[in-house]
Amino acid sequence: MNNKKIVVGMVVFFTVFAIINMMIIPSQCAWAQKRITIGGGSPGAIYYLFAAAAARVFSKHYPEFMVNSASVGGSGENALLLGREEQEFGIMSNDTAFHAYNGVEEFTGKACPNLRAVTGGYAYGMNLIVLEDSPIKSYRDIVGKRVCVGPAGGSYHIHVGRMMSLGYGIDISKAITQVNMNYNQAPDALRDGIVHAIFNPAGVIPETRGGGTYNLAVERKVRFISIDEEAMKKIQAKYPYFLRVVLEPGLFPNQSKPYTLLAVPAMVGTHKNVSEDVVYKFVKAIYDNKTELLDIFPGGKDFVDFSQIKGLSIPLHPGAIKYYKEKGVEMPKF
């Protein structure tokens, strides 16, 4: 009899244990964190810093998500990663997004029609920088020189190529020795005499002027070379996304003269198979907690500015549209 009682007791125990597990496990799964990746750019650059700040704010206010920022090559790589749906968000230039979405220019044969926009962002300047005593006085003078043109995985070197080709009739693949470095390494290479000039980005407002370009101007006397007006008009005729910007003296340390450059707006993108809920909560997190975001990274100012979405080059994701409509923001048309 005792043995029968033991067996019956064991059956009852395991039956109850199984029922409890069936009740608990789904509840645990419901609270499991969903992994979210935000692709940034080179370490220390604006894309990288904003992605890190956005990840921190997003995960804090929506703890059901495990959010991380990733250092990637830049716009081009983020577009491809989103196109392959290997990450949920990524920062890229507006032109890169447009080309990838439509499968043109550098994305011919590699179209990513699943790309969607989330929010606009800052404009980064196409700075041509040399040391103060350099014989290089104009864009044309870089012919035959060693020049940093940005990291291989980004879109910056593509912008440089377009500018030089359209504006000056110069094919940089043949006319210069191109050096691919990230935006913190390039200023060091110029400072140390490894290269003769660098094309290096920086924002066009005080909050986004930091990084390698700013630090170089602190450490060494440099010259920022203005682009020729005639060349600029030729470039803008084909690529209107380039913005003409005049930077007044004092934006950078030891900058005593104004100079003219072209700048390219950026954006945060996603892909269409990221759920509406995830995108809505991402946009809500960064906009509703703007002060907190900017305390972490003041350079994120233009990424949480409703006016910046007017310049987006690809369709908005439904999750972003939902949030903007709640706020009464006018939607761009595509």
Equal CATH topology for 34-122+267-326 and 124-265: yes
Which residues on adjacent β-strands are paired with residue 128? 199, 225
> Is the model more confident about 10 or about 45?
45
Instruction: Specify the pLDDT at position 57.
Output: 98
Which range is least confidently modeled, 12-26, 28-42, 138-152? 12-26
Distance CA 93, CA 126 (A): 12
* Rg, the chain, Cα only: 25
Mean pLDDT of 301-308: 94
For residue 36, give the amino acid letter. Answer: I
Instruction: Specify the pLDDT at position 2.
Output: 52
Instruction: Specify the pLDDT at position 331.
Output: 85
Mean pLDDT of 40-64: 93
Instruction: Specify the pLDDT at position 261.
Output: 97
Residue 14 tokens read as 């395991």
Residue 314 DSSP one-character state = S
Distance CA 128, CA 149 (A): 9
Please tell me the number of Cα atoms within 13 Å of 172 on its side-chain side.
26
For residue 240, give the amino acid letter. Answer: P
Distance CA 226, CA 125 (A): 11
Full DSSP string of 54-76: HHHHHHHH-TTEEEEEE--S-HH
Distances (CA, A) of 149 to 170, 182, 183, 243: 14, 9, 9, 19
Q: Under CATH, domain 34-122+267-326 is a member of which superfamily?
A: Periplasmic binding protein-like II (3.40.190.10)
pLDDT exceeds 70 at position 309:
yes
pLDDT in tens, 126-174: 999 999 999 999 999 999 999 999 998 777 898 999 999 999 999 999 9
pLDDT exceeds 80 at position 23:
no
Residues in the chain: 334
For residue 221, give the amino acid letter. Answer: K
Instruction: Specify the pLDDT at position 117.
Output: 98
Is 85 within 8 Å of 271 (Cβ atoms)?
Answer: yes
Mean pLDDT of the residues in the chain? 89
Torsion of CA 149, 181, 72, 260, to 10 degrees: -40
Sign of the C-alpha dihedral computed for residues 62, 42, 217 and 138 taken in this order: negative
Instruction: Specify the pLDDT at position 16.
Output: 43
Mean pLDDT of 10-16: 43
Mean pLDDT of 235-264: 92
Domain boundaries, the chain: 34-122+267-326, 124-265
Distance CA 71, CA 22 (A): 40
Q: What is the pTM of this model?
A: 0.75
Pairing type for strands 65-70 and 115-131 reads unpaired
Of 36, 39, 37, 119, nearest to 79 (Cα)?
Answer: 39
First to last CA, the chain: 80
Q: Which CATH number fits domain 124-265: 3.50.50.60, 3.40.190.10, 3.40.50.12160, 3.40.350.10?
A: 3.40.190.10
- Band the pLDDT of 26: cuts 50, 70, 90: very low
Residue 86 tokens read as 């290997």
- Band the pLDDT of 254: cuts 50, 70, 90: confident
pLDDT in tens, 89-124: 999 999 999 999 999 998 999 999 999 999 999 998
For residue 138, give the amino acid letter. Answer: S
Give rounded-to-5 percent helix, strand, coil for the chain: 45, 20, 30
Is 323 within 8 Å of 283 (Cβ atoms)?
Answer: yes
